[in-house]
Structure 1
Amino acid sequence: MACIEDYAPLCENPPTSAQPQNLFSIWNQMLSKCLPAGNVETSPHPTIISPSKPDGLQGRSAFDYMKGLENHWITPSPSTHLWILGNVLVGRDHDCHISPSELSTHLSRYIAAMSFKMIARRFNNADLSRRYIECLKQVKEIPIMSQPGKDRSVHYHRSQIETNSDRLFLEDFVTLSNIDHDLIRTHIPNILQLANNLPSNDKDFELYTDETSTEFHNLLLEILDRFKSTLDTLMAFDRDKAARESDCHHVFSKNVHNIHVYGYALLRLCRGRAFRIHL
């Protein structure tokens, strides 16, 4: 919505997202600056869709309906998709005691189920993604760090954010391998020891060291491969068939869960200090 603010002077009272009908003049002005190529009269134009409740709601909130799709997936219509997102994100119709982490987890799984085709196209793009991943795979030896790289006094705030992301990666992903032994197949004894013995939140730590650098590199490659494998499985999957057959639905649901898990791991890694040092 940041770009809309540039056109706010067009309106005497700048509209908000709660007043979509008042956004027309702004969108008209914005879209007129980037006309589609070809014949304007025959070129496709955006379609305005109003949110609508799904059939079979049975008094459930949008959050409960979205959560229920994990157990029995039915692809929502575009209007139902808007209704789900609008109500879940605003939070006006679900239990206020739902924790942010629970809300984020179920929303992430829902978005994965709805958007895995777009994610796969971007992740498998030869120019934007694959060439960089292939370059990473060509690295066979990780050089010893010449110095610890204590740059925190210069960029303390950024460094703290990155360290917190590394901590979440260890807490929310690596430690799960203590329970789910199939989650990580890479041998990472030093990283696992660090994850199981993390210092308190007020103390710093280093995920990327001479002892962990090779483990980190191999783990990163595994997560990228597992993420791609999950996307490829879903791309070859029939979502409508999954809705009809329980066995297929179980496979679909499991792979959606894996997109959430490995996608979250990649998110935490790319925002972390260890990833920046490694690259």
Structure 2
Amino acid sequence: PRDISADDYLSALHKNWIEPPLQEHLWLLCKMLEEKPGKLSRKLSQYIAAQSRRRIARRFRNQSLSQPYYDSLKRVKDVPPLPLHRKQATNHRPGAAKLDKDEYDSDRRFLKYFLGPYNDKECTTSLDTPIEHLLKMVDESMTGSGNIELYTNDTRTEFHHLLLFLLLRFEESVEQLSYYAYALLRLARGRAFRMHLENIEHLLDDPRHPSAGASTDDYNEEHDHAQQEEDFDGVLLPQKLKSYVAWLRLIVGHFDAVEILARFVKSSSFPYQSIFIQILNPPLTGEDKLDWQKLFTDGPLPDGLLAIKDRNVKEGKCKKTGEYPEIDALRDKLEQHPSAYSFFVSLAHNQLFTGALHCEAHLASILHASTGNTKKIEMLPELQHYGPVIGVSKHCCLVCDHFLNILRPRDDQFLVQGRHGNISACTLPQWTPSLIVDNMNLKFGTILLQDLNCFMDKVNGIQGHTLERSNSTGSGALSLDSDGGHSDGSSEHHVVKPWVL
């Protein structure tokens, strides 16, 4: 295919589909993104629908992980009216301004590009579900410039039936898979779908806890169960409604990826003329090399790590010695309050370790220069040849992301799949140098301090009074990090993301 354009090659596949081998598949993706033909997103979506149809079907029809969401939506028969406070409540979420703008835009595109053709008087086709009130909003989406509230009391029932109709057609269709996927993607990214879930939340099941006896269909029996479970890990969010949104976005994830890629390569911030796509496979290991489990439990590596740990413990003890007078003074004050004193003393006894160990942090720490160059540790030869890519299957947490950036802050940074936006509990490796520990405590202790201050403000506001708050020793040096990685020096409250414990 190298002698023809990617667009011509794709057109030939559309007329006579033959699944291309892996090398031609990667070549086609590269060339389509380089050539940027007209209707790039639509053409790539149609190709991906044909190329990945079996995987998409397996994912959607997974009886234990996907179908419970679909079945729960189908069981909703009567959509309740919108409460009066619902609209105002959804507009005042932390960080909602940017989110609402993107959601409104997605709803507008759904009306304009999917429902728009059905509003044409010359249109000879129709959807097998009533959309009378929804079609009335199409003209507004074509001419109006403000935000369009797609989900209202007039459209709530039609919206629910249309959602179920699109899911059914998505499941059954082969030729028009990308067509219905586009509509579902717009809903998954839009505001109306989220408002609909909020409105019917009390009618929905919680599929995050499926029954133990759930069976699998033929699609799943021929597929790797571990891979499917990994796909759905991101769906099992703490909040039920967010879990439904994540499920729908996962179902149309292939088409979401196409849209993101197409928009990126066509943007002004993409300066490259050529694109190269390659699948990275882990290096093959022979029997003479230790696997990770043995590597961390056998040989000189554990002894070296323990030596570093002992060194850090000694440094910590020296630092702690200078703080003894302050600790004694605090204890004397605390002993004046017996009930509080006994509570804190009880915390120090019989406490088992309950921290979370993240593999990417531990792997990166033993490849870090200050660890690898320590004279007390003899790194295995295999470790010295590994590059900065850490192949974890899930997104990195914010704590590990900051930790990896500290370990390698320059051009040779550690590379992971990406990071999510929640701060979760994460325990640093015991051999982490004390300077890095201090940096981590300052970074996330600052965010925690701000969260606690915001919490106190809310509590005091509810109780109808305020409490005088004085800065603790040294707290004047703490300031929130901005998105750019530096403090703005102001004393204003900043919106921070909720902690996930």
The TM-score, its normalising length taken from structure 2, stands at 0.36
Partner residue in 2 for 1:78: 22
CA root-mean-square deviation: 1.8
Give the letter aligned to residue 163 of structure 2: L
Partner residue in 1 for 2:272: none
How many Å separate the matches in 2 of 1:143 and 1:266?
A: 22
Matched, 1:215 2:158: yes
Q: 75, 79, 101: which one pairs with 1:138?
A: 75
Partner residue in 1 for 2:87: 149
Report the CA distance between 1:202 and its aligned residue: 3.2
Give the letter aligned to residue 22 of structure 2: P
Show structure 1 runs of 5+ residues with no match: 1-53, 235-254
Matched, 1:186 2:142: no
How many Å separate the matches in 2 of 1:65 and 1:201?
A: 39
Give the letter aligned to residue 10 of structure 2: M
Report the CA distance between 1:60 and its aligned residue: 1.6
How many Å separate the matches in 1 of 2:112 and 2:118?
A: 10
Report the CA distance between 1:74 and its aligned residue: 1.9
Tell me, yes or no, if the aligned pair for 2:107 and 2:148 is still in contact at 8 Å. Answer: no
1:100-111 matched pairs, under 5 angstroms: 102-111=39-48
How many Å separate the matches in 2 of 1:269 and 1:225?
A: 15
Give the letter aligned to residue 71 of structure 2: E
Report the CA distance between 1:197 and its aligned residue: 2.9
How many Å separate the matches in 2 of 1:199 and 1:105?
A: 20
Describe the superposition over 1:62-109 as per-residue Cα deviations: whole angstroms up to 9, x where unpaired.
2221132112212211111111112222x1xx3x6x34xx01111111
Q: 193, 206, 210: which one pairs with 2:149?
A: 206
Partner residue in 1 for 2:56: 119
> For residues 224 and 181 of structure 1, do their structure 2 counterparts lie closer, same or farther at Cα, with a shift above 3 Å needed?
farther
How many Å separate the matches in 2 of 1:130 and 1:224?
A: 11
How many Å separate the matches in 1 of 2:160 and 2:72?
A: 12
Report the CA distance between 1:176 and its aligned residue: 2.2
Give the letter aligned to residue 149 of structure 1: K
Partner residue in 2 for 1:158: 99
Q: 167, 177, 180: which one pairs with 1:262?
A: 180
Give the letter aligned to residue 152 of structure 1: N
How many Å separate the matches in 2 of 1:181 and 1:211?
A: 25
How many Å separate the matches in 1 of 2:11 and 2:133?
A: 37
Tell me, yes or no, if the aligned pair for 1:176 and 1:183 is still in contact at 8 Å. Answer: no
Tell me, yes or no, if the aligned pair for 1:190 and 1:211 is still in contact at 8 Å. Answer: yes
How many Å separate the matches in 2 of 1:84 and 1:126?
A: 34
Q: 114, 117, 133: which one pairs with 1:173?
A: 114
Matched, 1:88 2:27: no
How many Å separate the matches in 1 of 2:194 and 2:56?
A: 23
1:11-22 matched pairs, under 5 angstroms: none
Report the CA distance between 1:135 and its aligned residue: 0.8
Bigger radius of gyration among the two:
2
Corresponding residue SS for 2:81: coil
Partner residue in 2 for 1:33: none
Report the CA distance between 1:177 and its aligned residue: 2.1
Runs of 4+ in structure 1 off by over 6 angstroms are none
Describe the superposition over 1:198-241 as per-residue Cα deviations: whole angstroms up to 9, x where unpaired.
264631121000000000000000000011111xxx4xxxxxxx
Bigger relative contact order (CA 8 A; separation at least 6): 1
Corresponding residue SS for 2:15: coil
How many Å separate the matches in 2 of 1:173 and 1:126?
A: 29
> For residues 142 and 181 of structure 1, do their structure 2 counterparts lie closer, same or farther at Cα, with a shift above 3 Å needed?
farther
Tell me, yes or no, if the aligned pair for 1:199 and 1:205 is still in contact at 8 Å. Answer: no
Partner residue in 1 for 2:467: none
The TM-score, its normalising length taken from structure 1, stands at 0.64
Give the letter aligned to residue 132 of structure 2: P
Partner residue in 2 for 1:64: 8
How many Å separate the matches in 2 of 1:259 and 1:221?
A: 15
Query: Identical aligned pairs, as a percentage?
Result: 41
Describe the superposition over 1:154-205 as per-residue Cα deviations: whole angstroms up to 9, x where unpaired.
5111111001000011111111224655451111100011113326463112
Show structure 2 runs of 5+ residues with no match: 198-501
